[in-house]
Structure 1
Amino acid sequence: MTGGHEWIPRSGALRIGQRLRERRRALGLTQAELAGRAGVAQSKFVHWEKAGLPSTIATATLDALEVALQVPQGWLLSHDMQPLPDPVFNAGSAAAREQGGTLQARIPPARCREIGPHARRLREELGLSVAEVARCAVSNPTLLQREKGTFPKALTAERLRAWERALLLAPDQLLAPPAAHPGLRDGRWRVVIEAETLETAIRRVAECLATGGRNLVRPEQPLDAKAVRNADLLAHRYGIGAHRWPLVDVAVAYGITLSHAHQTIAGMIVRAAQFEFDIAVLDALVEASAAGLPSTTAVADRRMRDLLGPSLSMERAAAFTSEVLSQRIARADARMAAACTSIPQ
């Protein structure tokens, strides 16, 4: 080193340029991206990759290059090819480099080949079809190719995040070591239901069951007419919704038979076994009821009424917890227990 510079022998220029190029490609970065991280002009960096390095290079520039390349200090100019850890890509940090609304940073090809089969297994664990996940803005054939580790287009941070959202994953979870889907527990899809009242929570559970969980994958998409109808039918079973007339009239309003309505409701209740619903307002209701649940159908306690909602009765709440969640509200009386197995329509 002389005056803050490193000497580059002519005989090593070709080797160093090749290392620059291969490591950059392993990181999934363009020449412009790597040059920007290292603080050098793109044209100069392109020249360096072609073995057009100067006779000396500033130590600070060399350090910045090695940081950008995610390599140990001294690796770039060393004579021996030292083993390197796999490149690290962090989609969250890539968001800080957002350009024009698009996350341009690319995932290294080697990581993509690992991500594909990992993503397929997580999709299968969730019980989602290819079509359901492909709604993240790719076609079915493209998703199938991705899941085999083949990527027709470069996988950018933006595309990775869309894929993760479709699989209900947090940022960077597809890049994590293979593991069970974090949303699954004992083979059941864990769903957190946030609501101020149990009445609202039941409606959201009904929408989840009516779509088989698809509304969780694409929450910004409105429910289709069939899903709305089925959610209404299940909510009506627990006395929730705009319809206060008997189920047969609700069925007629939707143009289906009473038998069809019963079958639809029964199918959604069976489907509930695939989910584990985490409902904070229900936990609060259980805690309040444990302190002293009224033995009559009317709920006098103001706290209980606030938690139930304006329309939901304790009997219907108990029926919901028994049928859909397979649990009982603490200290429910005999009439509530009976209501769990037979609700008048």
Structure 2
Amino acid sequence: MSGGCEWIPRSDAWRIAQRLRERRKALGWTLAELAARAGVAQSTLVRWERGRWPDTIAAAMVNALDAALQAPQGWLLSRDTEPLPDPGGNAGSAVVQEGLSDLQARIPPARCREIGPHARRLRKELGLSVAEVARACAVSNPTLLQWEQGTFPKALTAERLRAWERALLLAPDQLLAPPAAHPGLRDGRWRVVVEAETLETAIRRVAECLATRGRNLVRPEQPLDAQAVRNADLLAHRYGIGAHRWPLIDVALAYGITLSHAHQTIARMIVRAAQFKFDIAVLDAIVEVSAAGLSWTTAVANGRMGYLLGPSLSM
């Protein structure tokens, strides 16, 4: 270590990325959850899990990652092949620290009364309705309203608490120690990390987010409804995505709407995009490759970046 930094050899970058990714998944955390715990931007974490590490990294950042991964100091960058102990279930870990041991453990009533008002505030900051959060928690609207008032007809378990946190786009335990402002917002906009291997896939995921007003983030396991699929298709085709490269008029007709209706739908989604801050690592990678080869011909650039663009896009 030199000057408070750790050196990362190029030959070790992919091994470290794989170790980071596998440990995160073993803990059962999303990229957003680990980023919140380690104090690092989600877009940075995406790049690191893909092996795109800098030549040096602050030792304090490495220590924070080790701690967030529940690993000994120095483990992430070490060549030690000894596996770490299975972390087991971590949902509701703050509850476990209070003496409760599993997902069915009950949250103390005094804590429940504190959680409700904080959850209501965070829901409103995201602009979500009671019905949307209730559906994501698999409870009725009246039940969620009672929860937000700190009243729980049935015991609030660690499992239910984690479902509530997921519905509010929070990391584990953030309702037990609620932040002053929602961590998923930046300057009043939803911060969305788009995980995609190609720009084509990234555009599609952005289109789906805009078509659902971000509601697909609350319930990622829920299939998009027919109208959201149509609107996502319209926006994606507006930017040239699609195996057949159909003109927009053909896409509109395939869905039984006029070209004018299609343009209006796309315009509304583009306006809606101002409500979001998209972090797209693959787009950053394209910018980096472009900046390194400004003298390339289009044909050469297309060949160099084909793996980043996807099969339906070209320079």
- Aligned equivalents of 2:258 and 2:152: distance in 1? 48
Instruction: Please tell me whether Structure 1 or Structure 2 has the larger radius of gyration of its CA atoms.
Output: 1
Show the 5 A alignment for 1:53-64: none
Return closer, same or farther for 1:204/1:105 CA change in 2, 3 Å cut-off: same
CA-CA distance at 1:115 after TM superposition: 0.8
Return closer, same or farther for 1:276/1:245 CA change in 2, 3 Å cut-off: same
- Aligned equivalents of 1:281 and 1:147: distance in 2? 39
Aligned to 1:258: 259
Aligned to 1:90: 94
CA-CA distance at 1:96 after TM superposition: 8.7
RMSD in angstroms over aligned alpha carbons?
Answer: 2.2
Return closer, same or farther for 1:160/1:144 CA change in 2, 3 Å cut-off: same
TM-score under structure 2 length normalisation: 0.66
The answer to whether the Cα contact below 8 Å between 2:107 and 2:155 also exists between their aligned partners in 1 is yes
Residue deviations 1:71-117 (CA, integer Å, cap 9, x gap)? xxxxxxxxxxxxxxxxx98146689933xxxx221111111111111
Show the 5 A alignment for 1:50-199: 90-91=94-95, 97-98=101-102, 103-135=103-135, 136-199=137-200
Q: Secondary structure at the match of 2:301?
A: coil
Q: Secondary structure at the match of 1:152?
A: coil
- Aligned equivalents of 1:285 and 1:177: distance in 2? 37
Q: Secondary structure at the match of 1:277?
A: strand
- Aligned equivalents of 1:223 and 1:167: distance in 2? 19
- Aligned equivalents of 2:146 and 2:289: distance in 1? 52
TM-score under structure 1 length normalisation: 0.61
The answer to whether the Cα contact below 8 Å between 1:106 and 1:154 also exists between their aligned partners in 2 is yes
Greater relative contact order structure (CA < 8 Å, 6+ sep): 2
Aligned to 1:3: none
CA-CA distance at 1:243 after TM superposition: 4.5
The answer to whether the Cα contact below 8 Å between 2:200 and 2:241 also exists between their aligned partners in 1 is yes
- Aligned equivalents of 1:124 and 1:262: distance in 2? 31
Number of equivalent positions: 223
The answer to whether the Cα contact below 8 Å between 1:236 and 1:243 also exists between their aligned partners in 2 is no
Bigger shift: residues 190-199 or 287-296: 287-296
The answer to whether the Cα contact below 8 Å between 2:302 and 2:314 also exists between their aligned partners in 1 is no
CA-CA distance at 1:261 after TM superposition: 0.6
CA-CA distance at 1:299 after TM superposition: 5.4
The answer to whether the Cα contact below 8 Å between 1:194 and 1:279 also exists between their aligned partners in 2 is yes
The answer to whether the Cα contact below 8 Å between 1:92 and 1:171 also exists between their aligned partners in 2 is no
Give 1:213's aligned amino acid: G
The answer to whether the Cα contact below 8 Å between 1:120 and 1:147 also exists between their aligned partners in 2 is yes
- Aligned equivalents of 2:300 and 2:212: distance in 1? 33
- Aligned equivalents of 2:145 and 2:295: distance in 1? 56
Aligned to 1:17: none
- Aligned equivalents of 2:99 and 2:278: distance in 1? 32
Q: Structure 2: which 5+ residue stretches go unaligned? A: 1-91
Q: Does 1:226 pair with 2:227?
A: yes
- Aligned equivalents of 1:190 and 1:95: distance in 2? 35
CA-CA distance at 1:252 after TM superposition: 1.0
Aligned to 2:288: 287
Give 2:190's aligned amino acid: W
The answer to whether the Cα contact below 8 Å between 1:243 and 1:250 also exists between their aligned partners in 2 is no
CA-CA distance at 1:283 after TM superposition: 0.7
- Aligned equivalents of 1:145 and 1:242: distance in 2? 48
Aligned to 2:71: none
Show the 5 A alignment for 1:4-19: none
Give 1:105's aligned amino acid: A
Q: Secondary structure at the match of 1:175?
A: coil
CA-CA distance at 1:298 after TM superposition: 4.6
- Aligned equivalents of 1:259 and 1:296: distance in 2? 37
CA-CA distance at 1:281 after TM superposition: 0.6
The answer to whether the Cα contact below 8 Å between 1:189 and 1:275 also exists between their aligned partners in 2 is yes
- Aligned equivalents of 2:237 and 2:295: distance in 1? 24
CA-CA distance at 1:292 after TM superposition: 2.2
Q: Does 1:309 pair with 2:310?
A: yes
Residue deviations 1:199-218 (CA, integer Å, cap 9, x gap)? 11111111111111111111
Bigger shift: residues 191-200 or 285-294: 285-294
Return closer, same or farther for 1:207/1:162 CA change in 2, 3 Å cut-off: same
Identical residues among aligned pairs (%): 87
Q: Does 1:212 pair with 2:221?
A: no
The answer to whether the Cα contact below 8 Å between 1:210 and 1:227 also exists between their aligned partners in 2 is yes
Return closer, same or farther for 1:247/1:301 CA change in 2, 3 Å cut-off: closer
Q: Secondary structure at the match of 1:174?
A: coil
